Chains A and B, each alone.
Chain A
Amino acid sequence: MGVETGIINDKDAARFLVPRRAFTDRGVFEAEYKAIFDNCWLYLGHASELPEPGSFLTRTVARRPVLFTRDKDGEYNALLNACPHRGALVCRERHGKSRAFMCMYHGWTFGSDGHLMTLPGSSGYPKGFKTDPQKQMVHVPRMERFGDFFFISFAKDGEDLATYLADAGDILNLLSEQSPQGMEIIGGTQEYAIRGNWKLLAENSFDGYHAACNHSTYLEYLGNTKGALGVDPLKGEAIDLGHGHAMVEYTAPWGRPVANWVPLWGEEGKKEIDGVYNELESRLGADRAQRIAKKSRNMVIFPNLVINDVMAVTVRTFFPTAPDYMEINAWAIAPVGESEWRRKFRLYNFTEFLGPGGFATPDDVEAIEKCQQGYAVGGDAQYNDISKGMAREGVPSFDDEAQMRAFWVEWDRRLSEYGA
């Protein structure tokens, strides 16, 4: 029995309506966990976060505590972070380096591949107890990597990661190609929450329509800051990447460390950015180099991985813990081996727009929270309108809503088909 989502998608009439109970209903929320978060490929982390054998980190993914490790052979493991004995969290640290993990309750100790190494008072247990499969830490049912991006799925069966990612895979490649040495997550995580439904952030992350109103003060700030504005106008398209993934890709007036120079960065900066661009062009050809360097991209990989390659690059995930509350983690990702100068500007750029202290994200938060509050009116005000650009001929514009419709169609499909 699938869930009746009530989405109205009428191409002929150019109507796309999402019922507001999708954001408020407890039943929808529980169904989302079953139909989406317990089935889809979910982002876990980036290879650069576990630089050597023994590196580990802990992370909550779809409400489950997960321990992500590299064992002594350098292999990556995604373990459910609960002790097979009585269920205590085995690792209670955020990250570090360790060959073994001792549960603080009774002292069972596990290798970084999850196998039970030692347990105190083992004479109290029968022979063979230590190697009993049920006494080992449990691996997340599936883990796969795409380039240096690791994903997990809590479903035992399903399509492989590359198939799941569809055309979004090429956009991940496009990001990885920014440097011949690959990309790395920069230390320091922005960890916050929003008192709103998680799908509002999925929409917001690639909403090209809201910038002029919601972020007027940011755009004015760019205008006030001498040399911060380049020559490129905000202009571009929305692209459906398949399987619910989508993005907007556009030119923008802001500077990009890879590789779009703005006057603020001076002549020295221009030399450096030209160098970055020339390297891209000689390695990848002019078309690919142009696309990487000059276009900004906001992508949502269904259901909840955002990669915004804008004035800096952010990787962001978010999980709901209630219909009206989500927890967000955001990281900065950057080319390995970029100069100190570029790294500094990248981070300066990032915090200018993005995150809880930026000049833009707080206003996104406000918009999302006010939507959630508005849904309390109920009654006849039942629908959100997601139809912008539906009647347009040709390529959808970046400030239309085709990318959101791609998300919603997949959301609708997964909920409707679940258990059907």
Chain B
Amino acid sequence: MTTSTMDRKLDDALLLRLRVEDLLYHEADLIDRWQLEEWFALFTEDAHYYVPPSDVDGDTADPETSLFYIVDDHVRLRERIVRLGKIGAHSEHPRSKLRHLVTNVRAHRDGDIIHSRASFIVSRAKDITHDLFVGHYLHELVERDGQLKIQKKTCVLDMEALRPHARISILL
């Protein structure tokens, strides 16, 4: 391999990671600012959003055979956002303060799909409570009109239980 092809490979890998990081940071920022419609627009029409429970292997668990915390297809994810916009979504009224920290982003291409793994800490503060969700994201991304879109987002909690959090009424 010549130096220039090695360089090009490195450039490609770096560029891919930068693009993925850019998307993940954008996502995090939109959720933190409660710009949920805009966040939802980052997903493809056949997208899924999953949060598995802590007593299964979250990287491989199947929502059709295991009980999850969240199993959203595109329709239900839209409804989740519609719900969060209402005063009747009591758990998020008044809205909690959120902060997503996203690190350790790794990405690789597999055919048309870009797989990424990244670490997260999500802080949720509301009245007398302040809870941290710790875990990792598994994203499956696709190119649509020159843009990266989310086809699947799985939030694997690296926690033993949702204690004391009780709820995932926010978006992770």
On A, residues with C-beta under 8 Å from B are: 94, 186-195, 214, 216-218, 220-221, 224-225, 325, 327, 331-332, 340, 343-344, 347-348, 350-352, 355-357, 359, 361-363, 365-367, 369, 373
Contacts and interface: CB of A to CB of B under 8 A. Distances in A.
B69 A356 contact: yes
Contact of A190 (B63, B69, B82, B129): B69
B61 to A, nearest CB: 7
B167 A356 contact: yes
Given A362-B91, A363-B89, 18 more contacts: A94-B55, A186-B66, A188-B52, A190-B53, A190-B67, A191-B54, A192-B162, A192-B165, A217-B83, A217-B86, A217-B88, A225-B75, A352-B76, A357-B68, A357-B167, A361-B167, A362-B168, A369-B129
B128 interface: yes
B22 interface: no
A365 B71 contact: no
B11 interface: no
A217 B169 CA distance: 13
B154 to A, nearest CB: 13
A350 B91 contact: no
27 contacts: A188-B53, A188-B55, A191-B53, A191-B55, A191-B160, A192-B162, A194-B166, A195-B166, A217-B88, A220-B86, A220-B88, A221-B79, A225-B75, A332-B67, A344-B64, A347-B64, A347-B71, A355-B67, A356-B162, A356-B165, A357-B51, A357-B68, A359-B79, A359-B80, A362-B90, A362-B91, A369-B129
B98 to A, nearest CB: 15
B166 A188 contact: no
B67 A331 contact: yes
B55 A189 contact: yes
A63 to B, nearest CB: 15
B6 to A, nearest CB: 45
Contacts of A373: 128
B15 interface: no
Given A327-B163, A362-B91, A362-B169, A348 B53 contact: no
